[in-house]
Structure 1
Amino acid sequence: MLYLKKNVTEKQIKKYGFKRCRKPYNELFYLCIARGVQVIFIGDGIFVQHWMNDDPRIHSRPNCKYKDDREVLDVIYDLITDGLIERRRT
């Protein structure tokens, strides 16, 4: 599974377009991806799921740029190559 490295700051995460989730989920960060209609969540681990408009973790005006041509794997690849996440075996 993929995890954020321990020394990653909120500022570094926001550089990629992530926003903090709504309360009571505000320990998570999310990024909605228009291509593929998916959302990436970062918390204890990193997970991806299909984006639903009624998800209580996401703001009513989610952070999604429809002109953005990135896909989920593009964002995860960028996070890995910039050294922000690591793979841990459990």
Structure 2
Amino acid sequence: MSGEGVSDLEVKIVYKMASNRATGAHNRTIEHIASNWGFASHNEGRVKQLLEEMATDPEAPVEKYGGQRNAVRLTDMEDAKAFIKENGGELPWGLRD
């Protein structure tokens, strides 16, 4: 992301969003992602904070969506794949080339 390195948790967030196909109309609330997608309970607050930050960072593949409060989605599946690869992560099984 802008000006600083990308954390492993940011890569994990994008990985989980890609695994769950959170693109297009398939947006999710920040609360839902943080509490229902397998993040450790002690990381939930940090996941929420990172999602808020990533949604306003033009280099991150996450954007706010629609009128629903705190809804986010991936900008594009290809952007998510590139983000994961560029930051040392492995792609989810269904997205590997």
Using the size of structure 1 for normalisation, the TM-score is: 0.31
Using the size of structure 2 for normalisation, the TM-score is: 0.30
Larger relative strand fraction? 1
Larger relative helix fraction? 2
